[in-house]
Amino acid sequence: MTPHIAAIVNPRSGGGRTGRAWRVIAAALEKELGPVRAHFTGGPSTPHFLPAAELTRRALKDGAQLIVAVGGDGTINEAVNGFFENGLPVNPEAHFAILNAGTGGDFRRTFDLPQDAEGCVARIAAGTARKIDIGKLTFVSEDGSEATRYFDNIASFGLSGETVRAVNRATWPKMLGGNFAFFWATLTTAMRHKTRAVRITTDTGFDATLNIGLGAVANGRYFGSGLKMAPDAEPDDGLFDLVVMRDLTFMDLLTGTGSMKEGTHIGGEKVSHTRAKWVMATPMGAEPVLLDVDGEGPGRLPARFEIMPQALTLRC
């Protein structure tokens, strides 16, 4: 094993912009960090195969001391999954960094990381390291089997699970930017969305069955391309912020998107907020309640969300 820096690159992220800009990105990385070994994802993920996770895991076993994920929030999530194998860290001493080049760019916002590649590379090169928490999610995958996945930012269910699938299927809306793509998908999905009864329990004694429009188990603060879903979330406090929007209607979204943008929806009449180390969400009906995990749609409820305190070292 030779210590080195590895870049895990999704050339299809951002509608292919990452692949087209890779030479410029690679030059910026090598100027600041020295030689970088690039590994490119070869295809989309499946319920039981995450390409960026496999590349990350292999790079760590080959001696990588710094993994740089180059892509969107989904690529970042996959790379985070590659830091773990059979529930244990592959290399506890390795660092992780992100260079966002996708549609949403939500994880970087919690850490105030620049949107441009050069600014991000400069922050990585500065070498400031921070231990952060990671979420562990056990859920029902798209093929009906039980699956486990880690998440760095926000895992949510309800309307967001339907919306993220619409975003990932979209073509022309992405050409107008991530914010528009998410806004378009949210409104078109909300017009046909129906709330579902879900029982939510936590380690703190919270136990309620609510008519869920959207439930978010948050490690980071932002999702949906800049919506400040959990404004008080801290990714290193050992706790999730659980934000639940109940009895959500299309008009609530149409008139309340601004408050979600600023994070002022917390404390609203239809919003519940608490903190917990674990959360269990169980649907009470036969209709599926879909998951959104860091911008990807891997499955549905029932699901258990568990915090893993200080499980990853992030260069930010």
Q: How confident is the model at residue 142 (pLDDT cuts 50, 70, 90)?
A: confident
CA 121 to chain centre: 21
65-69, 191-195, 303-307: the lowest-pLDDT one = 191-195
pLDDT tens for 229-263 read 999 999 999 999 999 999 877 667 666 555 888 89
For tokens 């999702």, the residue is 223
Q: Does the residue 159 lie in any domain?
A: yes
Residues with Cβ < 8 Å from 266, sequence gap 6 or more? 231, 232, 243, 273
Residues with Cβ < 8 Å from 53, sequence gap 6 or more? 78, 79, 81, 82
pLDDT tens for 16-28 read 888 898 999 999 9
Q: Do 41 and 93 lie in a common domain?
A: yes
Cα–Cα distance measured from residue 10 to residue 100, given in angstroms and rounded to the nearest whole number: 10
146-151 vs 129-141, strand pairing mode: antiparallel
pLDDT of residue 249: 72
Contact (CB, 8 A) for 245 and 139:
no
Q: Do 288 and 199 lie in a common domain?
A: yes
pLDDT tens for 161-185 read 777 666 665 554 555 555 555 565 5
pLDDT of residue 13: 85
**Between these two residues, 39 and 162, which has the higher pLDDT value?**
39
With a cut of 90, say whether residue 225 has pLDDT above it: no
pLDDT of residue 78: 97
Please give the share of the chain, as a percent, with pLDDT higher than 70. Answer: 88
Query: Domain residues for 100?
Result: 4-127
What single-letter DSSP state applies at residue 144? S
pLDDT of residue 125: 93
pLDDT of residue 154: 97
- What's the token pair of residue 308? 């893993």
pLDDT tens for 79-124 read 999 999 999 999 999 999 999 887 678 999 999 999 888 889 999 9
pLDDT of residue 251: 66
pLDDT of residue 127: 78
Q: Do 89 and 150 lie in a common domain?
A: no
Q: Does the residue 279 lie in any domain?
A: yes
Sign for the CA dihedral angle at 15, 17, 22, 26 comes to negative
Q: How many CA atoms lie less than 13 Å away from 199 in the CB half-sphere?
A: 7
Cα–Cα distance measured from residue 233 to residue 109, given in angstroms and rounded to the nearest whole number: 12
- Amino acid in the structure at residue 283: P
Task: Name the strand (E) or helix (H) holding 24.
Answer: helix 17-33
Q: Does the residue 316 lie in any domain?
A: no
Which is nearest to 183 in space by CA: 140, 242, 226?
226
pLDDT of residue 228: 94
Contact (CB, 8 A) for 224 and 160:
yes
Q: Do 154 and 215 lie in a common domain?
A: yes
* Domain total in the chain: 2
At 218, is the secondary structure helix, strand, or coil? Answer: strand
Q: Does the residue 49 lie in any domain?
A: yes
Q: Do 116 and 165 lie in a common domain?
A: no
Helix/strand/coil percent split, the chain, to 5? 30, 35, 35
Mean pLDDT of the region 210-223: 95
Contact (CB, 8 A) for 237 and 220:
no
CATH number of the domain within which 241 lies:
2.60.200.40
Q: Do 151 and 266 lie in a common domain?
A: yes
Q: What is the pTM of this model?
A: 0.91
Of 107, 127, 147, at which residue does a domain stop? 127
Mean pLDDT of the region 194-203: 94
Q: Do 80 and 142 lie in a common domain?
A: no
Q: Does the residue 204 lie in any domain?
A: yes
